[in-house]
């Protein structure tokens, strides 16, 4: 599991690097929480600093879409009477996870 977390962090850094290349002068911080979360808990934090407001908004939107596309994140919903994994647990990240 530690390898998965390291790979997730590497992908989050990649997204930050992509943003800084696409919007010069922009600085990002991206965090995705792991472990149990309550329904109202915040799972993703994206912070963008930019000389231009529109660039900051665009970079923020880019970040969340890239997280959905390239970061292997799995979600398991847990109830009092059971639990269920949500989404495709093999999906688009399957090949890459094996090589992390």
* Nearest to 78, CA basis, from 25, 24, 36: 36
pLDDT (0 to 100) of residue 92: 53
The CA-based diameter of the chain, rounded to the nearest angstrom, is: 50
Domain boundaries, the chain: 2-98
Query: How many other β-carbons are positioned within 10 Å of the β-carbon of residue 64?
Result: 13
Of the CATH numbers 1.10.150.530, 2.40.10.120, 3.40.50.360, 3.90.1170.40, which one belongs to the domain with range 2-98?
Answer: 3.90.1170.40
Higher pLDDT, 89 or 24: 24
Q: What is the pLDDT of residues 41-73, one digit of tens each?
A: 998 999 999 999 999 999 999 999 999 898 887
- Which tokens sit at 75? 């979600």
Helices (H), the chain: 2-22, 53-70, 94-98
pLDDT (0 to 100) of residue 37: 85
CB 3 within 8 A of CB 13: no
């Amino acid at each position: 599991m530690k390898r998965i977390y390291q790979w997730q962090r590497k992908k989050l850094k990649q997204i930050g690097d992509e943003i800084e290349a696409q919007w010069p002068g922009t600085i990002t911080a991206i965090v995705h929480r792991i472990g149990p979360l309550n329904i109202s808990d915040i799972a993703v934090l994206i912070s963008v600093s930019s000389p231009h407001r529109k660039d900051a908004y665009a970079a923020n939107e880019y970040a969340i879409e890239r997280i959905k596309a390239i970061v292997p994140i799995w979600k398991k919903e847990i109830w009092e009477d059971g639990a269920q994994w949500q989404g495709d647990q093999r999906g688009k990240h399957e090949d890459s996870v094996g090589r992390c």
